[in-house]
Chain A
Amino acid sequence: MVDITYHNGVVTAKLFGEIDHHIAPSIRGEIDAYCESYRPSRLILDFGKVGFMDSSGIGLIMGRYRMISLIGGRLEVVHIPKNLKKIFVLSGLENLGVMK
């Protein structure tokens, strides 16, 4: 699901496994709890170990973008696997400038 660490103003959430509508709310809850406690200047979502994702993952990213913007931080989405590129492109998330 997700492993989260905090270091030097940065929350890093390493997601793994499958992200769908069933699992997304608990990932969201864990990430948001970290961000509320630490109020980081940067939130990094690492998709390197995600094997499957549907549009629930896109909703998760858009929601975290809003959440981190509200507390004055910025979002980075890193290590997007090749097999997920298609849904990222379709989502238009590239236009938010968060994909590294």
Chain B
Amino acid sequence: MNIVNSMKLSFPSKSMNESFARAAVAAFLLPLDPTVAEIADIKTAVSEAVTNAIVHAYPDAYGTVYIEAQLTDNGRAVIKIRDKGVGIPDIKQAMEPLYTTSTDERAGLGFAVMQSFCDRVKVRSTVGKGTTVTLEKTILRASYGKR
């Protein structure tokens, strides 16, 4: 398994960047010729992870959200969404469906959506240091064309 392409993004934790982030990741995956459903899954999962960083990691001030993505030659997309925010004290609890610390009509489904829409979700977090969410999804029938 070799990495055939990679990219990095960083942007301020402003909610207007949620659409930019998911569209940018989706565009990066286009050379694999994913299906419409696969693109929708990735966009939704990225949107959830980036929204978590914006809402929860930096609750009081803007910080920076980092995205790194890699494509492998077996059609796997690995997307890391990282922040240097407050961190998650209890990851297991944070990942429970319907659990939310927000009072602003959040459904508490962010991690459930990521888990359901990706093959694998990993969360690493240190309180006071930040959180990294890694999403992995294999694009079935991925084709790199003749590039």
The chain A residues found within 8 Å of chain B, CB to CB, are 18, 20-22, 24-25, 28, 52-56, 58-60, 62-63, 83, 86-87, 90-91
Contacts and interface: CB of A to CB of B under 8 A. Distances in A.
B58 to A, nearest CB: 13
Q: Which 10 A-B pairs have the closest CB atoms?
A: A22-B15, A55-B109, A59-B107, A54-B47, A58-B107, A59-B105, A63-B105, A21-B51, A55-B107, A20-B18
B94 interface: no
B110 A55 contact: yes
Interface string B25-68: 00000000000110011011001100100110000000000000
A21 B40 contact: no
Given A55-B107, A90-B116, A21 B54 contact: yes
A58 B51 CA distance: 14
B113 A20 contact: no
A77 to B, nearest CB: 14
A28 B105 CA distance: 10
From B37, B44, B110, B113, residue with most partner A Cβ within 10 Å: B44
Interface size class of B (residues with CB under 8 A): 20 to 34
B44 A87 contact: yes
Contacts of A52: 22, 40, 43-44, 47
30 contacts: A20-B18, A20-B47, A20-B51, A21-B18, A21-B54, A24-B105, A28-B105, A52-B44, A52-B47, A53-B44, A54-B44, A54-B51, A54-B113, A55-B106, A55-B107, A55-B109, A55-B113, A56-B106, A56-B107, A58-B107, A58-B109, A59-B105, A59-B106, A60-B105, A83-B37, A87-B113, A90-B112, A90-B113, A90-B116, A91-B109
Nearest to B41: A86
